[in-house]
Structure formats: C-alpha cells, structure tokens
Structure 1
Amino acid sequence: MGAGAVVNTVRATAPTMAAVDTDLVRTALKLRLPKTPLGAIDCARFGGLCEVAAGTTLFYVDRTARYLMIGRLYDMETRSDLTAARLLELNPDLLVAGAAGKRAKLDDGEPAQAPAAASRVNLGELPAAGAIRWGPVTGPKLVVLSDFACGYCRKLTAELVKLGARVEERPISIFGPESRKTAEAVLCAADPEAALHAAYAGRKVAGGAKCDTSGLDANEAFARKHGFGGTPVVIREDGAVIEGFRPAAVLKAFANGGAA
C-alpha cells in the first residue's frame, strides 16, 4: 500500500473528530519518514493534530499524516506549554529547557528546531507585580522564572540559598492549571517567601486572600516573547540569561558577571 492509499484510508476513517486509527497514521509516517524512529502517537487530545514521539523530540501531524509541524504546542485556555510538559514526561532526566530546544532530524532533511530562546533580555519589560522576593537583600541579585512543580527549580532553590542570593522569583505555569493555582496561592499568601519554600517542599499552600495576579500573566507573556518554554531560567541584572539548573559556584560566577 503506497503513502497516498494510506492517507486516503486515514481520511476515510476520520471524516469528523471521531477516533483515528493511529496504526494507519503510523503506517503513513513510516512510508514518508522511513528512517525516523516513531514512538507513541496520540491523536485524541489536540483537536485535529496527532502528537508523535520520535526519540527525545516531538512533532505533530494532521490526521492524514500529510502535514507535519515541528514546534511548540500551547493550550491557550490553560496557558500551558503542552510540548514542554510532554517532553519532561517522556524524558524526566532532561531539563525541559534543554530538551525542548534539541534539534530533531527527520530522515535526511534539514534539522528543525524550536525558536531559539533569548540569551539577553530587558528586565524593564516586567512589572513590579508577579514576583516573590526572597533571600538576603545584600546578596547577588538574580531573577528566576520557575514553576513550583519543576524538580530542577526545587534543586536550583537550594543552590540559591547556598549562594545567599537575593532572588526575584517569577512563576510561569509550564505544567498547566495546577501550577497556576499554586503560583497564585504563593503570591497571595500572607508570607510569600515562606509559602514559596513550602510549595517547593511539596506542602500544600492554602489559598489566602485574593490579590492582584496580573503579574503572573506578565511573567508568562515575557517567557513566551523570549522563547522560554521551560524552567528554570536565571536572569542577571544586566539581562544575561542561563537556562536550566546550575550549582551555587556557577551561579556565583554568573551573578558576578561571568559567562552564561
């Protein structure tokens, strides 16, 4: 059966948004991308798209496997990066920031890559709201984009404590609505610093009084604008950026003006 016949079969089985036979999608992809290792295929969760795992990367195809997209898939309703969350789920030992940007090669074609994250940003784009400030006021100053469900963010926090950094922590909801709820609870807590460390310790942060959470929206817009699809992201006062976990010694050198 040729690729065209397989595509026609897929089209015939999916005239509406009904369940798609992923075996037929897989067969069509094998004919078109014979050298690409195909993992799980999920056509049930993304409207008209099928998510395809290929090694440590992801791509998306329509339900006829004719059109292929490599990039980031966002849920506009929950304001979450579905690609980053899925990559971490598939590769728990990899930093999302690194995994999401890995180059994927499809057969002998040109490698495709998600938009590169910025190496320097303008912190003046961020409002005063939306941040939890913690650590000694005399310590080296660092801005951190984080998600309280991110294990590497938790590890990074321990290193920032060792460094004695003055941290401006700005949550972004990489892992979806639950992350957003936690971020709002921490931001609105009577003692946001204590709530932040409680969240990283896995303790439930009780929702306090309502407060202005528009700063969290600004954090996420800032992350999207600059291509930050994962956490943690560490930003120096001059706007220099490093992505992912770093030990205290590296953070100290970076905070003091060293290379990212």
Structure 2
Amino acid sequence: MFGIDRLRRRLSPKAMMVLAVPLVGVASVAVAAQIASPGSVEVASLLKTRLPKTPLTKVDCEKVKGLCEVTAGANLFYVDTKARYLIIGRVYDMETRQDLTAARLLEINPDMLVGGAAKANAAAAEGDEESPISPTKGRVEKASLPVRPATLSLDGLPKDGAIVWGNPAGQTVTVFTDFRCGYCRALTNVLRSMNVRVVERPISVLGSRDIADRVYCAKNREEALHAAYAGEPFKGGASCDTSGLDANEAFAHKHGLTGTPVIVRSDGAVLEGYRPKEFLLSWFKDARS
C-alpha cells in the first residue's frame, strides 16, 4: 500500500484528504519558483514560511480554480489559495475526463512513470514530520521499456482494422490502443483537442477485444469509440468482418508492441505511452516530410 494511504490513516476522520500544515518559524531558503500570477506570489511567500525545507520550483494558482499547483523538484502537490491546507493526490477534470496530475507529472519528466512519481510523493510524505513533501526523500522510478526500433513502418497493415477520426485535413497520427487502458483514454482526449487525423488501431492487451469488435462494427465508429472510452453505452451494430482487428493484433505481436498506447508519427517515428498536449505538439512538428 502506498505511503499516502498510511499517511491518511494518521489523520482524523474530519481531515480525510486534506492536511492542515502547521505554521513554523521563518527560515532562509533559496526559492527559484516560477510565479504565474499575483495570487501565486502570495502563496509562494506563505509556503516559504510553512515549508521552509522544501525548495519550490513553481507555484501556479491559475490552472484549477480554488487550488494552487505546487511543483517541488519531481514532486507535485496542491494547496488552497491561502496555503493553509495541503492536498496530496490526483486532480481529475471530469468534464474533459483528464488526469491533470498525471499530465503535469509527465511534463516535469516525460520519461517518468506516473506510478513511480506517486510512490516518490508517498515516500516523501512519510519521511518528514515538518514538511509533508520533501524532494530529497523518495526515489523517482524511470520507465523501463523494452528496446524498440526508432521508427516503425505501417506498410504491412491493411486498411481494415483502423478507426479513423479527427480532422480529415490534419496531420496523420496512428495510435495502437486498448479500450481498457486508462492512458489510452487520456491520450484520446488530448488528441481530440488537437488538429490531427487519428488512425486508431485497437489491440487487445488488457482483454478488450469484445469492446473493440463492438466499436468496429458500430454504424458510427468514431462516436462509439469515444463512448467506449468514457464508459458510456453505445450501439455496436450487427456483427461484421473484424479480420482487420486480427491484423492489428498480429502486427503488434510481430513488432513487440506489448503495451499501450503506442503513437506512430507520419514519418514512422514511435513514441510509447501517454504524453501531454504540449509535448505532442512539439513532437508532431518534428516530423520529417
């Protein structure tokens, strides 16, 4: 069980997810924090006195109304606008269905596993009575991925098996996904906000072939695809030829694509795992014509 859970058990039932941070003496700390607004300046100043052992990297009170996002090295946490309550955990945007914390952690370090970051935050939370977050404690775990080719040719894939959606005139990006993969869902939501043409090829890494069959056979595949990711009911339509999905599976097996999502740029460059919008915008621009 993560250290965060053990930390929560120490709290009174009324405290639950929110930690009251005690006021401590002022200490001289060099804080090179990036400040996004006047409110962020006030919060950063308060945090310097309340968490003097925590070197802050950035304070942003503009992203989430009522909360300030605080970056301390590889760690991420939140405080209220008066810096009285400190919150350790995930922030989800239920309207866009995005994990804002996961996206931010990957911005801090694109090679970092979000689960590893959570463990690092938890370890830091356990180890310092004065400062719930201590970047010097806890270990950030790096993604350990199999060696893959830098590029991947999609010439061996038939036209069938693809669910095409997005902007028909936009840059084409191919993604291998699984309908039970949370990071695939998050990536799909990001791609929906971008001016790209998505060629989505479902593969059953997590036992989602039944869902893929229903989506592929739906009258409106794009609508069914987004409904499936959102966990909403959709009409799968009558049975149809799903041999294209078999081809996706065979291609993934042949090229060692054992995890999802896998993103293939128009020039064949491969990127494994979820990435936030800002990263993808830059990566797509680097495509060779």
Q: So what's the TM-score if we normalise by structure 1?
A: 0.54
Gaps of 5+ in 1: 1-90, 104-114
Q: What does 1:190-209 correspond to in 2, within 5 Å?
A: 190-209=219-238
How many Å separate the matches in 1 of 2:115 and 2:215?
Answer: 27
Shift of 1:248: 1.4
Q: Give the counterpart letter for 1:119 in structure 2.
A: A
**Which of 118, 124, 132 is residue 149 of structure 2 equivalent to?**
118
Report which structure shows greater RCO (CA 8 Å, sep ≥6): 1
The question of whether the paired residues in 2 share the 8 Å contact of 1:123 and 1:237 is answered with: no
How many Å separate the matches in 2 of 1:250 and 1:124?
Answer: 26
The question of whether the paired residues in 2 share the 8 Å contact of 1:146 and 1:233 is answered with: yes
Give the match for residue 146 of structure 1. 177
Give the match for residue 65 of structure 1. none
The question of whether the paired residues in 2 share the 8 Å contact of 1:116 and 1:227 is answered with: no
How many Å separate the matches in 2 of 1:226 and 1:124?
Answer: 13
Shift of 1:243: 0.3
Q: Give the counterpart letter for 1:220 in structure 2.
A: E
Q: Helix, strand or coil for the counterpart of 1:123? A: coil
How many Å separate the matches in 2 of 1:142 and 1:252?
Answer: 12
Q: Give the counterpart letter for 1:139 in structure 2.
A: G
How many Å separate the matches in 1 of 2:172 and 2:144?
Answer: 30
Q: Helix, strand or coil for the counterpart of 1:239? A: coil
Q: Helix, strand or coil for the counterpart of 2:193? A: helix
How many Å separate the matches in 2 of 1:209 and 1:251?
Answer: 36
1:242 to 2:271 alignment? yes
How many Å separate the matches in 1 of 2:257 and 2:220?
Answer: 28
The question of whether the paired residues in 1 share the 8 Å contact of 2:219 and 2:236 is answered with: no
1:168 to 2:210 alignment? no
**Which of 250, 254, 257 is residue 286 of structure 2 equivalent to?**
257
**Which of 168, 190, 193 is residue 137 of structure 1 equivalent to?**
168
Q: Give the counterpart letter for 2:276 in structure 1.
A: P
Shift of 1:92: 8.5
Aligned length: 153
Q: Helix, strand or coil for the counterpart of 1:154? A: helix
Q: Helix, strand or coil for the counterpart of 1:141? A: strand
Shift of 1:212: 1.3
The question of whether the paired residues in 2 share the 8 Å contact of 1:135 and 1:161 is answered with: yes
The question of whether the paired residues in 2 share the 8 Å contact of 1:136 and 1:166 is answered with: yes
Question: Percent of aligned positions with the same letter in both sequences?
Answer: 51
Shift of 1:119: 2.3
1:180 to 2:202 alignment? no
**Which of 90, 102, 105 is residue 144 of structure 2 equivalent to?**
102
Give the match for residue 60 of structure 2. none
Shift of 1:93: 2.9
Shift of 1:162: 1.5
The CA deviation string for residues 119-163 of structure 1, in whole angstroms up to 9 with x for no partner, is 211111111000100001122210000001100001001110121
Gaps of 5+ in 2: 1-112, 117-140
Q: Give the counterpart letter for 1:204 in structure 2.
A: P
The CA deviation string for residues 2-32 of structure 1, in whole angstroms up to 9 with x for no partner, is xxxxxxxxxxxxxxxxxxxxxxxxxxxxxxx
Shift of 1:175: 0.7
**Which of 258, 265, 285 is residue 229 of structure 1 equivalent to?**
258
Q: Helix, strand or coil for the counterpart of 1:183? A: helix
How many Å separate the matches in 2 of 1:134 and 1:175?
Answer: 23
Shift in CA distance, 92/255, structure 1 to aligned 2, threshold 3 Å? closer
Shift of 1:258: 5.2
How many Å separate the matches in 1 of 2:248 and 2:150?
Answer: 17
Q: CA RMSD in A?
A: 2.5
Q: Helix, strand or coil for the counterpart of 1:206? A: coil
**Which of 206, 213, 227 is residue 242 of structure 2 equivalent to?**
213
